[in-house]
Structure 1
Amino acid sequence: MSYRMPAEWEPHSGTWMAWPSNGYTLGDSEADAQAARSTWAKVANTIVDFEPVWMCVNPGDETIARAFLDPRVQIFEMPLNDAWMRDIGPTFVKDSFGHLVTVNWIFNGWGAQGWAKWNFDELVAEKIGELSKTAVQDSWLVNEGGGIHVNGAGVVLLTETVQLGQGRNSSSSKAEVEAEIHQKLGTSKAIWLKRGLHRDYDEFGTRGHVDIVACFASEDTILYHDQQDPSHPDFEVSREVYETLTAAGDFKLVAVPAPKKLTDDEGFVDYSYINHYIVNGAVILCAFDDQNDEVAKKIMEQVYPQREIILVPAIELFARGGGIHCITQQQPK
């Protein structure tokens, strides 16, 4: 049986999300919790104008979630450790008959990081497979949805510090990892970036997810994060990524400038417009109350001319370690 992961811009049946209920995603104070819930809800309530949204909610939090969510968002009770559905949820592919299949990667808290708990999250993909009535195919690979990006035509973007990193698959060879990725996603070519953005290696980082650095916008177009300020450590990362992508083949490369804001209270930020989410008829784009928000929107309007580009505030997401793409997971039609 062969498989293919549809590109994100192909039609969706809907979007899966997870409600923030625990730990650092919810925060230490009521104000933190209010900010988290409002931000997650704003993303869900924007998407539901374009396609169904299915929100997984920790038992006991349904009433709180319903108070924030549009009535059209459907709630499913499910024990959760975290709220990054891109990573804890399934990767949907299609088999050679066109049937949806749920790929169940091994999830271990982004490489068994000391602060992470995943006793509930490691079961989420399989449970969503049951809810979506799709066959579940297990993988031996430690991997997350934010660590891959496909063009739907045989090419996948990966990062060496993720798939080959300590705590994930460091005992496997690059060839072995590639073979498993290709078998599960139906790809045949892997473009390996050496690393992700600087902030992503902090305490609550993913150690280099690709979906904040580069992504496909069509079969032959790649958007990449362009940090233009030499004082930011991602200035060198952006140049390195550009060189890697240039050497990878005949792709149209589109630079998307990073926000002008360089730091927050914790140090250099990894604010990125690459971490957007494509839905039916629209693109949900991270906004940072930054002068480059409109610059990024105009670029996206050129890249996705048939879709409405909607800016949604994302600073509270990035403060917790991710963005809009990180909290969503598409189910293809």
Structure 2
Amino acid sequence: MTYRLLPEWYPQDGIQLTWPRHDGDWAPLLARIEATLERIVMATTRFQRVLICVPDELTRQRLAATFEAYGVPASRLQLIVAPTDDTWARDHGPIGVTDEKGQMVMLDYTFTGWGGKFPAERDNQLTQRLADAGVWACPVAPRDLILEGGGIETDGEGTLLTTEACLLNSNRNPTLSRAQIEAQLGEDFGVDRVLWLTNGHLEGDDTDSHIDTLARFCDPSTIAYVRCDDPNDPHYSALAAMEQELQAFRQRNGEPYRLIALPWPQACFDPDDGHRLPATYANFLIINQAVLVPTYGDPADVTALHALANAFPEHMLIPIECTSVIRQHGSLHCLTMQLPQGTLAQGAPAQRSGDTD
């Protein structure tokens, strides 16, 4: 069966978040990352639902009370207890597609912690656990292919944008050739064009150059991308080469894409060991009627918001401060997964517990 991958601007039931464990990688920054996640929930529930996977019943009760006090409508929030490894819902969450009859299906790809870099067994099981808890309103289709949501972008019209460094990396699907991967993407996503970026990376990125840190479809003819304007920055040459690749890409009708350059924030470094952190404005999240934009307390924040306002003239732009998020080498989009219309069970209670075994 051939499916169609839905673009992020397709109407959504909600978004998925995975709340951090107190004993996980976020432990030293737990209060900060929880504050950021709370801001995401508060912004998103103005427009749609938020599904949150939480590590234990005490956290579920605490968050239920917190968001009730904040005035979040109970109908907009669903808290599910389920074991997880980390918070990056973009990469362990399901990918929503439609089948040949237009019915929703959740594709459940294999998640290995970005090529075996980090523990991921519990995260890899999460989509099925949510199915067992009655969360989804549509079937879940497991996939053996190793693939993360942050590694792909679509225009919703048969074109996929991705990077060679990620999808062709030997730590993902080493037995598959480019042609075989393209064939699988065509079957799963209904795409007949794959635009491969050869260049582009961010220091401090654990994902092997996920596309959602570099270049994003804003509509079928528009791509927003990061541009480095500092010749002394180590990213300069690779991102300039990526820009040339984007300029050479063509839409299906032969026209060049409308390209919107996103500014380059000042270099951010980890305060503990000094390594560079992957701050990027490309890691925005499109929801119903709004776009959540990561900011970093940088002068370029305003420039980025203006650029994305040009890309999304009919959306409200909501800045979300993400200086704590990049401490664990991701940003706003990485924390979230959109759930297209028809994927969340409408009759599900606002709070319920899943299997915690």
Q: TM-score range by the shorter chain?
A: over 0.9
Q: Partner of 2:17 in structure 1? A: 17
Q: Partner of 2:321 in structure 1? A: 313
3-state DSSP of counterpart to 1:199: coil
8 Å contact kept, 1:232–1:262: no
Whether 1:62 and 2:68 are equivalent positions in the alignment is no
3-state DSSP of counterpart to 2:203: helix
| Mapping for residues 180-329 of structure 1, pairs under 5 Å | 180-201=184-205, 205-249=206-250, 250-261=256-267, 263-265=269-271, 266-329=274-337
* Gapped regions of structure 2 (runs ≥ 5): 251-255, 342-357
- Residue 19 of structure 1 aligns with an amino acid whose one-letter code is W
Q: Partner of 2:7 in structure 1? A: 7
Q: Deviation at 1:328?
A: 0.9
8 Å contact kept, 2:20–2:26: yes
**Equivalent residue pairs, number:** 325
- Residue 259 of structure 2 aligns with an amino acid whose one-letter code is L
Q: Partner of 1:47 in structure 2? A: 44
3-state DSSP of counterpart to 1:315: coil
TM-score (norm 1): 0.92
8 Å contact kept, 2:203–2:277: yes
- Residue 176 of structure 2 aligns with an amino acid whose one-letter code is S
Q: Deviation at 1:25?
A: 4.0
- Residue 175 of structure 1 aligns with an amino acid whose one-letter code is A
Whether 1:153 and 2:119 are equivalent positions in the alignment is no
Give the direction of change, closer, same or farther, for the CA distance of 1:94–1:158 in structure 2 (3 Å limit). Answer: same
Name the CA distance, whole Å, in 1 between partners of 2:226 and 2:24: 26
8 Å contact kept, 2:24–2:85: no
Which of 116, 121, 124 is matched with 2:123 structurally? 121
TM-score (norm 2): 0.86
Q: Partner of 2:338 in structure 1? A: 330
Q: RCO higher in 1 or 2 (8 Å CA, sep ≥ 6)?
A: 2
8 Å contact kept, 2:293–2:320: yes
Which of 159, 166, 177 is matched with 2:181 structurally? 177
- Residue 118 of structure 1 aligns with an amino acid whose one-letter code is A
Name the CA distance, whole Å, in 1 between partners of 2:193 and 2:142: 22
**Bigger Cα Rg:** 2
8 Å contact kept, 1:107–1:118: yes
8 Å contact kept, 1:83–1:327: yes
3-state DSSP of counterpart to 1:198: coil
Alignment RMSD, CA only? Answer: 1.7
- Residue 167 of structure 2 aligns with an amino acid whose one-letter code is Q
8 Å contact kept, 2:52–2:78: yes
8 Å contact kept, 1:20–1:83: yes
Q: Deviation at 1:20?
A: 1.0
Give the direction of change, closer, same or farther, for the CA distance of 1:185–1:129 in structure 2 (3 Å limit). Answer: farther
Name the CA distance, whole Å, in 2 between partners of 1:303 and 1:245: 16
